[in-house]
Amino acid sequence: MVTSKNILKRFYLIIGLLVVFVLFIGYKLFNIQIKEGEHYRSLAEKTVYKKFTIDPNRGNLYDANLNLLATSVPKFEIRFDALAPSEANFKEHLSELSVALSKQLGGTPDFYQNKLRTARANKNRYVFIAKNLDYSDYMKIREFPLFNLGAYKGGFIAEQQTVREHPLGKVGERIVGYGNIGLEGAFDHYLKGKQGQRMKQRIAKGQWKPISDANEVEPVDGYDVISTIDITIQDIAHHALLESLEKYEAEHGSVVVMETKTGEIKAIANLGRSATSGKYYEKLNYAVYEAHEPGSTFKLMTLAAALEDKVVDTTTLVDTKNGQIKYFDRVVKDSRLGGYGVINMAQAFEVSANTAFSEIIYNNYKAKPERFVNRLLNMGLGEPIGLEIKGEGQPKIPHPDDSNWYGTTLPWLSFGYGVSMTPLQTLTFYNAIANDGVRVKPKFIKEVRDRNVLVKDFTKVSYQGSVCSKETAQILRKLMQNTVERGTASNIYSPNFSMAGKTGTCQIEYWIEAGRYVSSFAGYFPADEPKYSCIVVIHKPNPSKGYYGSTVAAPVFQKIARKIYIDTPVQYEVNLTEALPNSFQQYFSLVEKKKKVMPNLKGVPAMDAIAILENMGLKVKLIGRGKVVSQSIPSGQKVNESQIINLILS
């Protein structure tokens, strides 16, 4: 039986437990607010607010004449915080805002009215309005009714991202590059700039809304990089290579054009065939990364070594037998059935006789093959160039100490088998011969600029020693000129324009299938005063269409040389970035001296371009706003007064 005394005990127990519970809650509240308050406040702040990085605009990448190769274009996404505006402001501006959005973005005013009303009713603080807007459209929309009140009163939210665009499209895509590829990757440390920060607030559904229009830390845009590439020469090289690839149904190919004295790379074209469509596109940077057996273009290196060691001269006679010479269990063959009989080494180079080269190298170096190999290594053929562009292929020169050195290695090495070199490495040697034996390092950059302010100058030539004596180089230059005039490349000879070079035909993957070749031609032009060196390498042409270097590759070289020096009009370029900031008078006098030829106005502000052209007596029509991106009259073309020129601006 429950007594009143027991009930009272239970009551006191319950009261005691409640007191303990209250004291415990009080202690926890005190602990959270006072003792651990800073920790929890920091945790809450991190949960609600977060700093996001803001990518800067990458610097522009230009060609040598300030034509854009790559540029960062800002794109904007617009959203709306439907709870930010007051009720009065929302009602007052809703109708006119809807009309403005309709005109700008399409759709009806009713559509936007319903969308914005629904967003406010649902307390949506991040409703989508538009994306991928350019800067001019963004500026228009931010001035629309209600939006022009800003983030806090008007609910206007704008987020920016940058998109990298290549004005040349697919031409030169691999050399321009992206990410850590090509010029974009090589000079990323100049182009990338510094990131900024923007505070955002966490809202419903895991979304983050900027808390203001301003950034906490503004991003710093990257520097502009002026490359050595010339888009005119790049375009010439691209189309000349493409024509040959299509004609001979080749797998892939590459072309490099280098300025002889400076080592500046003016063009790199790399085209590979798509396995699905069969079309050619900038697939991989073969010129930089693909090391392969060079074949007969290596005979230039072989003869340079032999001349330097004085084991032969150009008058040394060699018996090519019947076009076949056996070394151990293998036979060296010439492309000409029956051989060339007894010829001197100058003739052997011109006709590219494998037998002659194997004989002079084997007979003079068989007792001490390392002497020949070391000479090649001393000419720099065993080391990579050390390019800024990533992915350079590793060259290989076989050595007698190698485990796979055989008795036949030496004679086959004489005409480029067992060797591995990239097209650019081969061209660097040929360029050195054109330079009287002086090797210059290929380069891809001229200047780094912060707008018009020079940050760093790269125009100084980087010399890498000599590959041979001047005397040897001059002998080889004459032999290469003779090769074009009367040797294996006589099919590209022109009495009006001198060229020099060497053909190459190399059978590859013969252990897999017969009929796989690499066709090449390397040389320079003009022959007497070299301005440009150039290499053409084409892999796996259809042998039924043709496979000799003279047939497949040499005509590409000829077309490039002809177009650069004959078909392309003389360019009268003026450095506008230096002339414009001070005075137009210097520029006007230059224009007058050049008999009024059209300047290159790309990258020039519209008002400056108008002043220049109107002073020349031209009529100007502008399309767009900003700086000139293209012009209807090409630079270098003569103009007459009252001519109309259209300028596209961006």
CATH of the domain at 156: 3.90.1310.10
d(CA 358, CA 348): 11
Do 283 and 359 lie in one domain? The reply is yes
Do 185 and 98 lie in one domain? The reply is yes
> For the chain, what is the domain count?
4
Residue 6 is assigned to a structural domain of this protein: no
The pLDDT score that the predictor gives to residue 480 is 98
The pLDDT score that the predictor gives to residue 383 is 95
Do 138 and 176 lie in one domain? The reply is yes
The pLDDT score that the predictor gives to residue 604 is 78
Do 595 and 546 lie in one domain? The reply is no
CATH code of the domain in which 582 resides? 3.30.10.20
Residue 501 is assigned to a structural domain of this protein: yes
Do 407 and 476 lie in one domain? The reply is yes
For residue 204, the 8-state DSSP code is: G
Boundaries of domain holding 615: 576-649
The pLDDT score that the predictor gives to residue 608 is 66
Residue 121 is assigned to a structural domain of this protein: yes
Q: How many CA atoms lie within 13 A of 582 on its CB side?
A: 9
536: amino acid identity, one letter: V
Closest CA to 171 of 69, 71, 251, 256: 69
For residue 127, the 8-state DSSP code is: E
Last residue of a domain, one of 567, 593, 612: 567
* HEC per residue, 529-544: CCCEEEEEEEECCCCC
Q: Cβ(159)–Cβ(142) under 8 Å?
A: no
Do 461 and 319 lie in one domain? The reply is yes
Residue 28 is assigned to a structural domain of this protein: yes
Closest CA to 242 of 278, 204, 290, 194: 278
> Can you read off the two tokens belonging to residue 247?
């004609």
Residue 1 is assigned to a structural domain of this protein: no
Residue 4 is assigned to a structural domain of this protein: no
Q: Cβ(604)–Cβ(580) under 8 Å?
A: yes
Do 384 and 463 lie in one domain? The reply is yes
Do 324 and 185 lie in one domain? The reply is no
SS3 400: coil
The pLDDT score that the predictor gives to residue 607 is 64
SS3 518: strand
The pLDDT score that the predictor gives to residue 601 is 83
Question: Going edge to edge, which strands form the sheet with 644-649?
Answer: 619-623, 644-649, 628-631
Q: Cβ(647)–Cβ(620) under 8 Å?
A: yes
Low-confidence ranges of the chain (pLDDT < 50): 569-595
Residue 203 is assigned to a structural domain of this protein: yes
Last residue of a domain, one of 175, 193, 227: 227
d(CA 560, CA 241): 9
Q: Cβ(209)–Cβ(240) under 8 Å?
A: no
Do 205 and 277 lie in one domain? The reply is no
Residue listed under structure tokens 């983050």: 208
Do 253 and 392 lie in one domain? The reply is yes
Do 87 and 202 lie in one domain? The reply is yes
Do 279 and 329 lie in one domain? The reply is yes
Our separate counts of H helices and E strands in the chain read: 23, 25
Residue 285 is assigned to a structural domain of this protein: yes
d(CA 16, CA 22): 10
Last residue of a domain, one of 567, 590, 619: 567
